[in-house]
Amino acid sequence: MTNDERAIREVINTWMRATAAGDLTRVLELMDDDVVFLGPGRPAMRGKQGFAHATKAAEGRHRIEGSADIQEVHIFGEWAYCWNQLTVRMTPLDGGAASERRGPVLSIFRKRPDGTWVLFRDANMLAPAGGA
């Protein structure tokens, strides 16, 4: 495994930990300014500000925990893609029943001039666990 692949895997792991901790500032540091998130049945979410707005709108409602089972990481110079199987568990803070979503995610990363990797594009196909 190359240093770049290790760095990309660490971006994903850091994202999971920061999300679980509710550390939006840290999550935002892991993405490019003009990041785009694609998902089924919703318009593209564009830029860090779009992500921050959506996150803040849901703030205080759920504890979010996730895990990523990385299937592939391929690097092409300053660009890389990663396919993983993502599981996200959302537990309502008001004591309601938890829900889980699972599915494949295809992410594109960009290497900054300082050598750090950031998320550039993300397409996820998360669906309710159990086929519901």
Residue 96: which pLDDT band, with cuts at 50, 70 and 90? confident
Question: For residue 129, what pLDDT is reported?
Answer: 87
Q: For residue range 11-32, what is the model confidence (pLDDT) as tens digits? A: 999 999 999 999 999 999 999 9
Indicate if the pLDDT at residue 57 is higher than 50. Answer: yes
3-state secondary structure labels for all residues of the chain: CCHHHHHHHHHHHHHHHHHHHCCHHHHHHCEEEEEEEECCCCCCEEHHHHHHHHHHHHCCCEEEEEEEEEEEEEEECCEEEEEEEEEEEEEECCCCCCEEEEEEEEEEEEECCCCCEEEEEEEECCEEHHHC
Question: For residue 132, what pLDDT is reported?
Answer: 46
Q: 3-114 sits in which CATH class? A: alpha beta
